[in-house]
């Protein structure tokens, strides 16, 4: 049986504990850590976790671990993951795994010198329908991808940003692009493959935050698909939507924080009814959740493969975010590969600074 620990026993740690429990005898949650030791102790009691440690250093010292789940606020993700890699322990880190492209590259370099691997939590890549969609594309059933859109229209009121780690470049690395829409456009990237260039706008419309509370982008993919991406925390009727128009069918999902097959629809183009039949060959009621990703993570460990989502895949998504901010704040088109160490958007997502900050 694999042995896991959780660092950071706040809100999302519950989803990790549920996923670990659902994995049955494949993995045991043996210890937890939180800077708030009382919170860690209460969490350990609730989830029957045998041990609470005062910090990650002690945890890594005392326990024999296969994986550390990093569930702390974004700023601490990379430092904690680096500590795990130094101890040759695998890490399953919550999104975003880093607050800059530079931090991602530090992780990639550290992973080369470790037997540990870093996987990022992007649980919506792992729902059954996402697997099916990628398979039908690979099999040529859907034809060429032409148009797509990713809408993350969520609502977060002012009180949501009272939590000290929310709403600043320093603590979160960005606004809804980095923290919310990331789920949807990461899934879009996992379906459509490499993106090529991006034109974006970001705005701070309403919330008392340093970062944007809205961003919009037009994206061209290497396969020629043109897509729009919206990331908002200002939208009272909340929805998470992806739409893909292929030559042979439109494939759509509309959900909020997790989808099952019931949230997907497939509409065939004239003469392509077979696409709907192929889609319906499999059916599932499984929710795209931490449980799906943990199962894939454990499968990879069992077969000696790099657990998903790998740092290379995560880098594509993080570079997309850096490029979105660079495009929005410079008013230019930004191409994949353009943001290297010399770019101001490499070390921080804020780059040259948001227009609303510079206007003050």
Ligand X SMILES: NC(=O)c1ccc[n+]([C@@H]2O[C@H](COP(=O)([O-])OP(=O)(O)OC[C@H]3O[C@@H](n4cnc5c(N)ncnc54)[C@H](O)[C@@H]3O)[C@@H](O)[C@H]2O)c1
Q: With respect to ligand X, which residue has the nearer C-beta, 172 or 245?
A: 172
Rounded to a whole number of angstroms, the minimum distance from the CB of residue 137 to ligand X is 25
Rounded to a whole number of angstroms, the minimum distance from the CB of residue 181 to ligand X is 12
- Does position 181 interact with ligand X (CB under 6 A)? The reply is no
Q: Which stretch binds ligand X (CB under 6 A): 8-16, 220-228, 269-277, 302-310?
A: 8-16
CA–CA distance from 304 to each of 108, 123, 307, 359 (Å)? 19, 21, 9, 52
For ligand X, the binding residue among 3, 26, 39, 134 (CB under 6 A) is 39
Is residue 27 exposed (0-12), middle (13-18) or buried (19+ Cβ within 10 Å)? Answer: buried
CB 199 within 8 A of CB 327: yes
Apex CA 325: angle with CA 242 and CA 208, to 5°?
A: 90
Q: Residue 151 corresponds to which tokens in the numbers above?
A: 């809408």
Residue for token digits 């897509």? 227
| CA dist., res. 232 & res. 152, Å (int) | 6
For ligand X, the binding residue among 1, 36, 147, 224 (CB under 6 A) is 36
Rounded to a whole number of angstroms, the minimum distance from the CB of residue 12 to ligand X is 4
| CA dist., res. 273 & res. 266, Å (int) | 10
- The answer for residues whose C-beta is within 8 angstroms of residue 227's C-beta and 6 or more apart is 147, 148, 149, 150, 188, 192, 218, 219, 220, 221
- Does position 11 interact with ligand X (CB under 6 A)? The reply is yes
Site string for ligand X, 69-108 (x = CB under 6 A): --xxxx-x-----------------xx-------------
Per rule CB under 6 A, count of chain residues that contact ligand X: 21
Q: With respect to ligand X, which residue has the nearer C-beta, 7 or 65?
A: 7
Rounded to a whole number of angstroms, the minimum distance from the CB of residue 69 to ligand X is 10
For ligand X, the binding residue among 4, 5, 6, 7 (CB under 6 A) is 7
Q: Which stretch binds ligand X (CB under 6 A): 10-18, 134-142, 192-200, 274-282?
A: 10-18
Site string for ligand X, 282-311 (x = CB under 6 A): ------------------------------
Q: With respect to ligand X, which residue has the nearer C-beta, 46 or 282?
A: 46
Apex CA 5: angle with CA 173 and CA 178, to 5°?
A: 15
For ligand X, the binding residue among 65, 81, 99, 121 (CB under 6 A) is 121
- Does position 34 interact with ligand X (CB under 6 A)? The reply is yes
Q: Count of CB atoms within 10 A of residue 157's CB? A: 12
Q: Which helix (H) or strand (E) holds 46?
A: helix 37-46
Rounded to a whole number of angstroms, the minimum distance from the CB of residue 126 to ligand X is 11
Q: Residue 125 corresponds to which tokens in the numbers above?
A: 């890549």
Q: With respect to ligand X, which residue has the nearer C-beta, 7 or 107?
A: 7
Alpha helices in 306-343 (DSSP H): 311-330
Q: With respect to ligand X, which residue has the nearer C-beta, 140 or 164?
A: 164
Q: Which stretch binds ligand X (CB under 6 A): 33-41, 148-156, 261-269, 270-278?
A: 33-41
Is residue 235 exposed (0-12), middle (13-18) or buried (19+ Cβ within 10 Å)? Answer: middle
Q: With respect to ligand X, which residue has the nearer C-beta, 16 or 278?
A: 16
Q: Which stretch binds ligand X (CB under 6 A): 31-39, 98-106, 137-145, 332-340?
A: 31-39
Apex CA 89: angle with CA 85 and CA 94, to 5°?
A: 75
CB 233 within 8 A of CB 176: yes
> Which residues, numbered 123-142, are part of the site for ligand X (CB under 6 A)?
123
Site for ligand X, rule CB under 6 A: 7-12, 33-36, 39, 71-74, 76, 94-95, 121, 123, 179
């Amino acid at each position: 049986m694999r042995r896991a620990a959780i660092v950071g026993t706040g809100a999302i740690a519950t989803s990790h504990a549920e996923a670990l429990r659902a994995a049955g005898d494949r993995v045991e949650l043996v210890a937890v850590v939180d800077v708030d030791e009382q919170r860690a102790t209460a969490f350990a009691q609730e989830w029957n976790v045998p041990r609470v440690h005062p910090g990650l250093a002690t945890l890594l010292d005392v326990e024999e671990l296969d994986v550390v789940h990093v569930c702390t606020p974004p700023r601490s993700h990379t430092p904690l993951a680096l500590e795990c890699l130094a101890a040759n322990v695998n890490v399953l880190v919550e999104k975003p795994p880093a607050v800059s492209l530079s931090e991602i590259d530090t992780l990639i370099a550290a992973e080369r010198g470790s037997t540990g691997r870093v996987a990022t939590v992007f649980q919506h890549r792992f729902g059954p329908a996402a697997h099916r969609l990628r398979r039908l594309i690979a099999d040529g059933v859907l034809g060429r991808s032409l148009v797509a859109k990713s809408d993350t229209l969520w609502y977060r009121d002012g009180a949501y940003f009272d939590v000290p780690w929310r709403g600043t470049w320093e603590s979160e690395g960005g606004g809804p692009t980095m923290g919310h829409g990331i789920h949807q456009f990461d899934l879009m990237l996992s379906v459509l493959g490499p993106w090529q260039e991006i034109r974006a706008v970001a705005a701070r419309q309403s919330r008392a935050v340093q970062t944007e509370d809205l961003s919009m982008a037009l994206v061209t993919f290497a396969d020629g698909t043109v897509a729009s991406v919206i990331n908002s925390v200002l939208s009272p009727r909340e929805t998470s939507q992806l739409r893909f128009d292929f030559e042979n069918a439109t494939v759509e999902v509309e959900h909020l924080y997790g989808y099952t097959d019931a949230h997907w629809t497939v509409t065939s183009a004239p003469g392509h009814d077979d696409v709907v039949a192929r889609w319906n060959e499999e059916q599932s009621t499984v929710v795209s959740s931490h449980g799906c990703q943990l199962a894939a993570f454990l499968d990879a460990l069992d077969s000696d493969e790099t657990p998903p989502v790998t740092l290379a895949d995560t880098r594509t998504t993080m570079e997309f975010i850096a490029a979105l901010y660079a495009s929005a704040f410079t008013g230019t088109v930004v191409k994949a590969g353009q943001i290297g160490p010399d770019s101001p958007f490499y070390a921080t997502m804020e780059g040259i600074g948001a227009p609303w900050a510079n206007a003050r």
